[in-house]
Structure 1
Amino acid sequence: MQPSQRISRLTALALGIAGVISVGSAGATGFQIRENSIRNQGRSFAGSGVAKNDAAVVSNNPAAMVNVDSTTIRSDITIIDLTAKFTGGGSAAAGSPLARPLTGGNGGDPGDATPVPALSLVVPLTGSFEKLTLGASLSAPFGLKTEYDKDWVGRYNAVESEVKTIDLTFSAAVALTDRFSVGAGLIYERAEATLTNAVDFGSAICRVSVAACVTPNPVAAPFGPQKNDGFAKVKGDDYGIGWLVGFHFRPTDKFSIGYSHRSEIDHELEGTIDFTKPGNVSALFAARGITQYNSGPGGAKLTTPSVDTLSLQYEFTDQFRMMADIQATDWHSMQSVDIVRANGTPVTSEAFGWEDTMMYALGAEYDLSDSLTLRGGVAIDETPTNDHARTPRLPDNDRNLYSIGLTWNANEHLSVDAAYTRITIDSPTINTVSSSGSTLQGSYKGHADLFGLAAQYKF
């Protein structure tokens, strides 16, 4: 196959499947998702930027594509099952004479088992282009989904929260020497977001007209805290462009070093802001000329963070090797989520105050035979959230990862990977104020299970 034919085939395949990926709950802190390679997952993501014969390096470290010696395609899918339980309560119309305890249950389990797929293709060129390797991938590097019961105690803070990203990445690597290569990639990213929560219109009316909430008396009054609940839904999407660079270096035959940098990607999410109001609330707002809660076009800004990864691998014997990753994620761009109308008028702002994080991973592999490889790993993953601004939309905290995995080489062309990861999450606390003026305090207990399966074919 000629180089031009390979490039055309790679491009057509990547574009042809661009619409098939969707993503749900995140398997890492914040809403970062690392599950684009089941081999990496089996090592708790250690060695992601120096992996050999793993086509997923297209988006992890394009320079490492030179380790793939023939045209290779792989497909990965991870089931992320997040389990969480909230305990706590709060107050509606907090700080006012009409304050009363929040009603509702604990919201149920906001997590759900969600599939996260990925697809990668690597094409080493030949002839005059033998130093060049091309690649393409579809992956979901960021995403989250939590959904509570609509009548839960924290409904004014969050009901549904969903962020989806789909990356189409085109990468190229050049082997400058037998031991050193560089790579770069272009990322085309689609982002979607849906945020919903209940709105305590009764409390909003009390702030405008106290008489409406106490006449003839607070119990019989037509309006009041938690008496006139409505619903708000914000939905938007956007496309953005980013980039990826990296290098791969083998100082010795046994030791490998890889480094990659993924850029921030800015999005201007555009969509709709929808308010559902009880009839008596709509009538009162119309009579008083209150337009703050009218539905219409709007959106918000979203920046997916930059990520820097340093990967190491040392081969102690022909059968046994160890890997390590140190990863820094630049989360400080997530200081708040500001919802605005199309004309720029602010609707609401939700503070996040996220901080930059580090992830440390250590893994190992052992070739039990030519056809079977066993692997395992552990990792520590810091959270970008904090006790002052943590939200029920993502009740995250520091995590520990424990992974096992294997590869079965069915023949010289086909290999199958499997992995399991248990994620333990430090119990996060919530102490926050909603846009309806209610307070919510409590804590979560939770964990996550990741089940992964992949197949890779070398032509």
Structure 2
Amino acid sequence: MNNRITLSALALGIAGVLTYGQAHASGFQLRESSVKNLGRSNAGSAVFNGDANAVTGNPAAMSSFDKTTVRADVTAIDLSFQFKGDGRAAAAFGPNAPALTGSDGGDAGDLTPVPNISAVFPMHGALEGLTLGASIGAPFGLKTEYEDGWVGRYHALKSDVKVVDFTMSASVKLHDRFSVGAGLIYERAEATLTKAIDFGTALCSGSGNPANCFNPAFPFHPQSADGKFSVEGDDSGFGWLVGAQWQPTDALTVGFSHRSEVDHEIQGDIDFTLPASVQAALGPRAAGFADGTGGADLTLPSITTVSVRYDITDSVRVLADWQATDWSSLRTIDVKRSNGTSLGAEEFDWNDTEFYSLGAEWDMNDKFTLRAGFAVDETPTHDETRTPRLPDNDRKLYSVGVTWQLSDAFSVDAAYQRIEVDNPKMNVVSSSGSLLVGEAEGSANLFGIAAQYSF
């Protein structure tokens, strides 16, 4: 029992670092790099629309810029996630297992800013037709945190994941109506996760007589001796992106972009905290919970986007997006110690997802542009493997936005997006053996502001 919990806790911890999810985009994907796109629910993200975020959205679209342009965006994501349900400690004991104690965890969401900065540099002279670009942004990650002692503490307490990309892109205009582009991505991933471990269940059920879990004379019982562990991991990796933009008519523009998978070899520092009574009871076996290091290979998914923009008039246009995310790359996480010894695999079996959005823009006058959009986003998760670390389900997105063109060179964008999440259900056993049953109520409000300057 001691070894089983040691290995499964480590596996779940590192797997959580790699697969932590949040409730405002497919899986743990972030689409909030551009406030203009936010105001359209990401419709038209791969076609030029005066947005320097083309560096990462579709590098081919940079060819449409004729001036050096710098842009800074920040989106504040106010995520709300609350669990309702209960469960049983030592689920293997069946209906006689004691009920899980604790609160509902409170609001596990948090207010998290997602910044992005982009710059586009059109070349001149002998390099006419070539455009370079650079961007720093966050394509994945977010944060949730439950109250200590909540009913699902054996699944998750704190989850803090940050993925930051530095992208260098280039585009070439092959024709007045057709351009291509490509980019190189350097990606840094960092994560911290914590959870509780039910040593009371481990010691009574592993004592040789599981009936001790119901024996008042035995010193340990389910939920009587909680410990804790945390895991921190980080890694750097490289990826690439390619894109194309075609304008078959003056009114119609089509964009395509593809972001590659990015491979990571996450290395994590593991820290176990054991109550003194547990350390004394384990004796030499407590060495099985010694702090150490572990790691696992992770492949972040590829993303393919097709965008269409149609100018109905000079001042009114409609835009649409279809995006496919290759979440099937996240099937199994095989956790290994530093010496290469496998500590077991965690099954996720995520599915590929599709995202659909439709948006519109109206130039009221030379100074103000209004926009709005609607989107439907699929989840890669499913009921069989969903945990509180992954409170994810299908969702609908509603957005509005505005641009204020203060001068020919300077503009300011603002946007608001409301995300409604279908309540995800959970029926899952933790590495400590407890069963958690219930559902989550999740939603998010996103507020974005940006500024762009051309010279």
TM-score (norm 1): 0.91
Answer yes or no: is the 8 Å Cα contact 1:348–1:435 preserved in 2.
no
Question: What stretches of structure 2 of length at least 5 have no aligned partner?
Answer: 1-19
Q: Which residue of 2 aligns with 1:218?
A: 215
SS at match of 1:96: helix
Q: Shift in Å at residue 140 of structure 1?
A: 0.2
RMSD: 1.8
Q: Which residue of 2 aligns with 1:329?
A: 325
- Of 199, 203, 206, which aligns to 1:205? 203
Q: Which residue of 1 aligns with 2:142?
A: 144
Q: Which residue of 1 aligns with 2:252?
A: 255
SS at match of 1:176: strand
SS at match of 2:416: strand
Q: Does residue 274 of the first structure (1) align with residue 289 of the second (2)?
A: no
Matches within 5 A, 1:63-212: 63-96=60-93, 99-210=97-208
Matches within 5 A, 1:273-422: 273-287=270-284, 289=285, 291-347=287-343, 349-422=345-418
Answer yes or no: is the 8 Å Cα contact 2:112–2:142 preserved in 1.
no
Answer yes or no: is the 8 Å Cα contact 2:279–2:286 preserved in 1.
no
CA displacement 1:131-158 (0-9 Å, x = unmatched) = 1000000010011221111200000011
SS at match of 1:378: strand
Q: Which residue of 2 aligns with 1:45?
A: 42
Q: Shift in Å at residue 347 of structure 1?
A: 4.4
SS at match of 2:328: helix
Q: Which residue of 2 aligns with 1:6?
A: none
CA displacement 1:343-393 (0-9 Å, x = unmatched) = 234446443221000000000000000110000000000001111111100
Give the aligned residue type for 1:96.
F
Question: What stretches of structure 1 of length at least 5 have no aligned partner?
Answer: 1-22
Q: Matched residues in 2 for 1:272 and 1:404: separation? A: 43
Q: Shift in Å at residue 52 of structure 1?
A: 2.3
Q: Matched residues in 1 for 2:220 and 2:336: separation? A: 27
Q: Matched residues in 1 for 2:334 and 2:80: separation? A: 28
Answer yes or no: is the 8 Å Cα contact 1:53–1:69 preserved in 2.
no
Q: Which residue of 1 aligns with 2:27?
A: 30
Q: Which residue of 2 aligns with 1:456?
A: 452
Q: Matched residues in 1 for 2:68 and 2:183: separation? A: 18
CA displacement 1:209-231 (0-9 Å, x = unmatched) = 1459739x722421121111100
Q: Shift in Å at residue 206 of structure 1?
A: 2.3
Q: Matched residues in 2 for 1:83 and 1:213: separation? A: 41
Q: Matched residues in 1 for 2:228 and 2:120: separation? A: 47
SS at match of 1:251: coil
Count of matched residue positions in the alignment of Structure 1 and Structure 2: 435
CA displacement 1:224-259 (0-9 Å, x = unmatched) = 211111001111100000000010000011100000
Q: Matched residues in 2 for 1:294 and 1:129: separation? A: 59
Q: Does residue 446 of the first structure (1) align with residue 452 of the second (2)?
A: no
Give the aligned residue type for 2:383.
D
SS at match of 1:281: helix
Q: Matched residues in 1 for 2:453 and 2:217: separation? A: 70
Q: Shift in Å at residue 100 of structure 1?
A: 1.0
Give the aligned residue type for 1:36.
S
Q: Shift in Å at residue 337 of structure 1?
A: 4.0
- Of 209, 228, 232, which aligns to 2:229? 232
Deviates more, 1:376-385 or 1:192-201: 192-201
Percent identity at matched positions? 57
Q: 1:106 to 1:26 in 2, by over 3 A?
A: closer
Q: 1:276 to 1:347 in 2, by over 3 A?
A: farther
Q: 1:52 to 1:69 in 2, by over 3 A?
A: farther
Q: Matched residues in 2 for 1:169 and 1:338: separation? A: 29
Q: Which residue of 1 aligns with 2:57?
A: 60
